[in-house]
Chain A
Amino acid sequence: QVTLRESGPALVKPTQTLTLTCTFSGFSLTTSGLCVSWIRQPPGKALEWLARLDWDDDKYYSTSLKTRLTISKDTSKNQVVLTMTNMDPVDTATYYCARTRDGYNYFDFWGRGTLVTVSS
Chain B
Amino acid sequence: EIVMTQSPVTLSVSPGERVTLSCRASQSLSSNLAWYQQKPGQAPRLLIYDASTRATGIPARFSGSGSGTEFTLTISSLQSEDFAVYYCQQYNNWPPLTFGQGTKVEIK
The residues of A with any CB-CB pair to B shorter than 8 Å are 37, 46-49, 52, 60-63, 96, 98, 104-108, 110-113
Residues of A within 8 A of B98 (CB): 49
Q: Which of B1, B42, B87 contacts A46 (CB 8 A)?
A: B87
Q: A52 vs B96: C-alpha distance in the bound complex, in angstroms?
A: 10
B95 at the interface (CB under 8 A from A): yes
**Shortest beta-carbon distance, B66 to chain A, in Å?**
15
B73 at the interface (CB under 8 A from A): no
Residue on B nearest A97 in the bound complex, by CB? B43
Chain B interface extent, by class = 20 to 34
Residues of B within 8 A of A60 (CB): 94-95
A-B contact count (CB 8 A): 57
The 8 A CB mask of B11-35 against A (1 = contact, 0 = none) is 0000000000000000000001010
Closest 4 CB pairs of A and B: A105-B91, A106-B34, A110-B43, A49-B97
Residue on B nearest A47 in the bound complex, by CB? B99
**Shortest beta-carbon distance, B49 to chain A, in Å?**
5
Q: A98 vs B49: C-alpha distance in the bound complex, in angstroms?
A: 15
A46 touches B44 (CB 8 A): no
Known: A107-B46, A108-B46. A48 touches B99 (CB 8 A): yes
